[in-house]
Structure 1
Amino acid sequence: MKPKISIITIGVDDLERAFVFYKALFDIPDEQIGAGEDHVAFFLDDDFSFVLFPREQIAETAGKPEALEGTPGFVLSHRAEMAEEVDAILEQVLIAGGSIITPGTESEWGYSAYFEDTEGNIWELMAMPVAN
């Protein structure tokens, strides 16, 4: 895998408070911000986004029972070209000693998987859906 960090997602305790802080800090126009019920995404350029996500949901994504000390506070996301590349990287993860949290899964957002490195850090692998 030649890493290309496309998204950094950080865990927050208060989504609204974090949104207000980062909107003021980044000073970007509203059209570069996307929000859902459970997240806020700042599209900083064509290839990089910074996302706020509730810490409890990061814990759930990481397969942890709750956001306790030691629960990752961030997720690094690597954008792959296609689903097959995601699966190939997962094979490398196992060979290198990491573990798969969520195998490759198709969703409305594309094809994605999560893995944990040997130190407990969480990575997301994703391939965007093919445009029609």
Structure 2
Amino acid sequence: MKPSIAIITIGVDDLERAFSFYRALFDISDEQIGAGEDHVAFFFDDAFSFVLFPREQIAETAGKEVAVAGTPGFVLSHRASSPKEVDEILDKVLIAGGAIITGGTESEWGYSAYFEDSEGNVWELMATPPAN
């Protein structure tokens, strides 16, 4: 895998407070901000986004309990070229000593999977569907 960090997602305790902070900090137009009930995304360009996500949901995604030491405060996301590449990377993760959290799954966002490296850091692999 040649790393290509496309998204950095950080866990926050108060989504509104964190949004206010980063909105004031980043020089970004309203058109470059997307929000849902459980996240806020800042789209800097076609290749990089910064996402705020509730910490407890990051822990759930990683298969951890919030109170457990080592609960991740962020997720590194790698944009793969295809679902096949996502699955090939997952094979390498296992060989290298990592662990698969969730195997490849189709969703409205494309095809994605989550894994832990050998130190418990969480990665997302994603292959986004082609633009219409």
The interval holding the TM-score normalised by the smaller chain is: over 0.9
Identity %: 82
C-alpha RMSD of the superposition: 1.0
Does residue 123 of structure 2 align to residue 100 of structure 1?
no
Match for 1:49: what amino acid?
S
| 1:115 alignment counterpart | 115
Query: 2:130 & 2:57 partners in 1: Cα distance?
Result: 27
Could you tell me how far 1:67 is from its partner in structure 2? Answer: 4.6
Equivalent residue number for residue 31 of structure 1: 31
Q: Aligned residue for 1:69?
A: 69
Contact 1:110-1:127 within 8 A present in 2 as well: yes
1:129: how far off?
A: 1.4
Q: Secondary structure at the match of 1:3?
A: coil
Report the equivalent of 2:56. 56
Aligned CA distance change for structure 1 residues 20 and 61 (closer, same or farther; 3 Å): same
In structure 2, the partner of 1:86 is: 86
Uncovered stretches (5+) of structure 1, i.e. residues with no partner: none
Matched position secondary structure for 1:69: coil
Alignment-mate amino acid for residue 11 of structure 2: G
C-alpha distance in 2 between matches for 1:119 and 1:86? 20
Aligned residues: 132
Q: TM-score, normalised by structure 2?
A: 0.97
- 1:20 corresponds in structure 2 to 20
Quote the Cα distance in structure 2 between the aligned partners of 1:11 and 1:67: 14
- Deviation of 1:45 after TM superposition, in Å, equals 1.6
Alignment partners' CA distance in 2, 1:122 and 1:70: 11
Give the AA of the match of 1:6: A
